Amino acid sequence: MSVFAHTDFSSHQQVVFCHDPASGLKAIIAIHDRTLGPACGGCRMWAYASEDEAIADALRLSQGMTYKNALAGNPLGGGKAVIWGDPAQDKTSALLRAFGKAVNRLGGRYITAEDVGMRVADMEIVRSQTRHVIGLNSSPAASGNPAPWTARGVAAGIRAALDYRFGSANPQGRTIAIQGLGQVGMALAAELHRQGARLVVADIDPRRLTQAQEQFAAQVVDSTEIHRHPADVFAPCALGGVVTAERTPHLGAAIIAGSANNQLATPEVAALLHQRGILYAPDYVINAGGVINAAGEARGQYDPSSVMRRVDAIGETLTRLFRRADHEHQPTDVIARAMAEDILTRARLENAA
């Protein structure tokens, strides 16, 4: 399928296919919009079933980053990179260096960072070939692993959603179902357990499940069934596309609020959630803590106290969004997109003046 004719192509400014036969690198870098600044978004490494699946992920994720940075108030545009390969088997130093060279050839139009299948240590290797990397441990303005900040923002968003739906932001005694116990999911589980929530968890790694049982007294359920479990909040924290039209009638939670990108399988799902009265915290709003943290590093002025205030303010942004959605009788995802597009339109007019 042509990129321009792809269903997920949305006025992307640049899509680059990168191949290095020596290292086996097959990567796609999608730059969606640079109105607010250089395109910024993580690099995901995944064993995609097909090239089209990899393209779709890059296109959707990069557009989400445009909206995420706009609504977070970051002077950054939206971009994303995906590497087609199994991170457990195909990731090598040579491949990471080749990816770094590909990023560098873009001359700063795209800034990369870690995402699924990548670690801070991997980004350090990428950094050996380009300065257009954030989320590091070694640079003068290093911000480190963004996962704890993403988890902090999701926790703030969950409190805002609980307050809006139930009249109290306190997670004490609330049942929260977390799908995915990676770096963000596990950090979120720890924070919610500390605040007194009852946790239901699912993950493909039995070691993580054992850890959650032992440390948080979590109830373990099957990954394919957790969306059905009765809960106050369903928090998707693994890969996207888990909230489908087929699953929507069977959702067991009153709120969907998690860290995964592209949680809705299709845009139409937002209307189905709205019809059912399920409060959805749009993923590119609630999971912005990591990129808020990294934005300071991108500017070369990292201030942890400022980052903390801005990440905690994610809850306030969501509350405004929920109120507007109710006032306009629209799905929250529709309103979030409208809010982001308003920011971009104003910036374009200012840039043209």
Q: Are 70 and 282 in contact (CB under 8 A)?
A: no
pLDDT at 264 over 80: yes
286 vs 139, residue with greater confidence = 286
Q: How far is residue 126 CA from its own chain's centroid?
A: 21
Tokens of 316: 């306030």
Q: CB-side exposure of 301: number of CA atoms within 13 Å?
A: 2
Query: What is the pLDDT, as a whole number, of residue 296?
Result: 76
Does the pLDDT of residue 104 top 90, yes or no? Answer: yes
Q: 101 catalytic, yes or no?
A: no
The encoded tokens of residue 246 equal: 């087929």
Active-site residue (options: 68, 80, 91, 101): 80
- Rounded Cα distance between 78 and 307, Å, is 20
pTM for this prediction: 0.91
Determine the distance from the C-alpha atom of residue 145 to the mean position of all C-alpha atoms in its chain, rounded to a whole number. 14
Per-residue pLDDT tens over the stretch 52-97: 999 999 999 999 999 999 999 999 999 999 999 999 999 999 999 9
pLDDT confidence bin for 140, thresholds 50/70/90? low
Instruction: Report the C-alpha gap between 200 and 332 in whole angstroms.
Output: 25
Q: Are 76 and 64 a contacting pair, CB within 8 Å?
A: no
Q: Is the pLDDT of residue 353 over 80?
A: no
DSSP 8-state class, residue 248 = G
pLDDT surpassing 70 at residue 99: yes
pLDDT of residue 144: 72
**H or E element that contains 19:** strand 14-20
Per-residue pLDDT of 196-207, as tens digits, reads 999 999 999 999
Percentage of the chain with pLDDT > 90?
85
Average pLDDT over residues 222-245: 95
- Mean residue pLDDT of the chain comes to 94
DSSP string, 150-187: HHHHHHHHHHHHHHHHHS----TT-EEEEE--SHHHHH
For residue 27, give the 3-state DSSP assignment. strand
Helix (H, G, I), strand (E, B) or coil at 255: strand
Q: Could you tell me the pLDDT band of residue 208, with boundaries at 50, 70 and 90?
A: very high
What is the average pLDDT across 107-114?
95
